[in-house]
Structure 1
Amino acid sequence: MVVLAVAFTNKFGKALVSRQFVNISQIRLEGFFAAFPKLIGTGKQHTYVETEDVRYVYQPIGTFYLILITSKQSNIVEDLETLRMLSKVTSLVFTLVPEYVPFIDEEEICERAFELIFVIDEVISMGLRENVTVAQVRQFCEMVSEEEMFHKIMLQIKIKETYNIMKLKASKIDKSKADRNRGGRGSSMSLQSMGPGEIEHILSDPSISSSNDGFSIASGPSAFNSSTYLDSYFSNSKAATAPSKGQGMQLVKNQRINQFLQSLKAEGEEITEDVQPSLIKSRATAPPPSNPVSLIVDEKLCVTLKSDGGLANFDVQGFLSLQILDEKDAYLHVQVESAKNPSIVFKTHPSINKELFSSENTLGLKDPNRPLPTCQSSDGVSLLRWRMQSLDESALPFTISCWPSVSGNVTDVSIEYEASPKFDLQNVIISVPLPSIRKAPNVRHIDGEWRYDLKTSVFEWSILLIDNSNRVGSVEFSVPAADPSTFFPISVQFTTTNTFSGLKVVNIMPLKGGSTPKFVQRAMLCADYTLV
């Protein structure tokens, strides 16, 4: 058995992470990956295909493929065993069980590229499989250091010893003070009212000496329990240092300081002012949710557009979350319906009855005698997930194009957007990077509002709402001459209550009789565009 390469690829044959074990050129390897999607069939979980040169042994993992490229003389049984082993150890990287791996995305795979390469190298060396188990690979990759553990233990011991010495010194101070008070040399001032200079003076007293076994303490009863005081001192340090409210003089803001702050604001600096504690408290105590049952449909759209036209990435991830306040309302089934979109793949929570959802579009636990989990947080508990990937540009809710052109000492920039009639967009923010200039650009025309951040050299174009009245809009401005690539990448963020899944709750059915609890449902799609 000789493994030529191991790779994670998307369904279009693009390699996200690849590990080669033989001398092979990048062009040839990319050719193997590009030809792979044309060779595979549908309706199979894991299998292999062969060409004239190599054999592909692969396993689908969600919308990605784990591929082993081997020679045709390799033992297919060993190849499949190696594939299963790699599938198990790579799932350790994402800290997920294999059935949840379909929810990883390209960004997460790229972020964990080196960790994936490490576990692959533990299983395969020089193209040959190593005799290791999943537990051994996990232990190798954890890289536990006994020296580091020993260092942490010693550090904790030193901290504990230092704390004990502090308590012992405080006890000596108390006893010395009590002896002085009895002899008439002291005052009635307690340790709590002593300043740091007086405590330091007492600590340097020669009567408080140290020996090899610790500190020697003068005989005599203590005025009060110093250990209890020291513990309470550290716990109440914030209260002890808090300023008291007084009626003394107050400093009025200097006019020069105000002018300086205004100049900072003009240059794009964010100036935060002090907030009254009462206001902070009122914001922290938000009113609790009042509806017994809440269902939230949340979708996230990530799109990458090319500046010369075309679509590089179009990915939608969605969640249906349930929030129940009282356990008596948790014995129920949720019936849903969605738009008939074949590109969307749904995945239920492991505790949900999959057969019930497939046949009746109803979400319920496998054990009807168990209640659904209650949750007080605003996020709720996720019951259903879905994902959609496409390269159909007509399905996008929003498109944008940028046309920079240099004319003499000036660069004219024209940006145009177009919104789909299926979506009403809110809080649209288009951020355009500009060359470093001290003055704001000369804006000749704009549909909406704009601001220029001098600190980051970013031009922000904002539209509060895009509906049937403004499906198309543009902005035109000019800046000093600059390279056209300076104005990319352009980022766009917006929200909308329209979703790709069209998922909504039709009915809630209680399982133990009684009236149907009152419920509310909300839907939100958050989009993140990049024009490169």
Structure 2
Amino acid sequence: MVVLAASIISKSGKALVSRQFVDMSRIRIEGYLAAFPKLVGIGKQHTYIETENVRYVYQPIESLYLLLVTNKQSNILEDLETLRLLSKLVPEYSYSLDEEGIGRTAFELIFAFDEVISLGHKENVTVTQVKQYCEMESHEERLHKLVLQNKINETKDVMKRKASEIDKSKIERNRGDKGGFMSLQSMGSGRIDTGFGSDSGISNTGGSGFGSGSGFGLTPEVDTFSTKSKGRPAASATAPPKGLGMQLGKTQKTNQFLESLKAEGEVIVEDVRPSVGQAKPAAAPLTDPVTLTVEEKINVTLKRDGGVSNFVVQGTLSLQILNQEDAFIQVQIETSGNPAILFKAHPNMNKELFANENILGLKDPNRPFPTGQGGDGVSLLRWRMQSTDESILPLTINCWPSVSGSETYVNIEYETPAQIDLQNVVISVPLPALREAPNVQQIDGEWRYDSRNSVLEWSVLLIDNSNRSGALEFVVPAADPSAFFPISAQFTSSRTFSDVKVVNVLPLKGGATPKHAQRTLLATETYQVV
């Protein structure tokens, strides 16, 4: 007493949807369904037909038949009730009762049939219950999505606050440029040497030496400023440069020209050039008495067919001290122990102490470190790593352009290792000259087309364990595959290759250990696939 199959067929016997509830071969069920239209009489009022083996219980639905195939021992009253329930469900899921409409909603109808009939027997359900069961709405799922959306909104709020803090710190630094420069000029006399390197903070040739704190040199911002004529105060970051001749983007005619381009649909990218004092992004204001900054710059050139042409990492450890009483210190660090990384301490550091105990301190312990250093502070340690090992790359990029007819399909994918997270990732892909933006068909992240430079920028805010790999696919008119190279990338990370960590800050004059903070940053200088 079971239902063998529930089906929807056309008047010619073509099976559109069929769900079997017992073991039955495809040939057998197709034979039953193909024979049914031949058995249907014209003008008959009953809605069932019996043969030697099975019984057909059916109901016309416009140009189709809703059909139950049962054995002859099945309860026909129960089968008619089942047929009536199914006839109510079909219009709920298929709004177009023709072959095309049934085909579009075939799986939904099969799921609904399964809720009504189980192992050939009718379940005690209603139309509303079947729809509820098929929708599978979950309160826990809705709650999870709500919590996830709240986290996303909170992250956006934090980003806005951080951006506001950075803007405020820039304004504060610009206001203090004039006073800071004059005070540094008055700290010492004679020639100021920057020690080893262009942005080193330590000097041993000018001023009154380490004791007075005037011989440590200038930060990169002040150093570049000092090339201007003496006695001229620092210009505000927002003040326009004077005496430089014609300035683009400042006249009414230029503004009218840009507006006309915008009106024609051209994407205008504002070219904002930083002032001399803004060569580097402004750091957050110092709050701890002692701040140590670990910064690494990475230069990578990858081959488009695989392999590494150039892979160089250069790092620095810088020190900034706010108060004079905290200047008599030594800094103990630890590293990853990678033999490929070559460390070099500043000449005024006690190299024997560093080599034996990983402690950075001045050769003369009676002299303090300078205080009030702006910018990146005083460089204590530098290191360099060079490799051709592709497995340690923080980001690998593969580009596969293929020409098909009059179009070029470009597939780009990125991958990152599990031990490093990347922030603010931007992958720039050069494009041939186009009349309109490329057709981006699939992307993990966001994209922007710079029509002026003919560059497609693919940006991912954060790459972590949830998106270790991603893909971009776009279509442009047929072009030479070499037109999509070199691909460049920019990103930052809080994980460095040297893994330099400040273990402790040791006071030399006794007393409590000053509170210290460590800042760590890995950033790209050049990162290209050629």
TM-score by length of 2: 0.49
The structure having more radius of gyration, on CA atoms, is 2
* TM-score normalised by the chain length of structure 1: 0.49
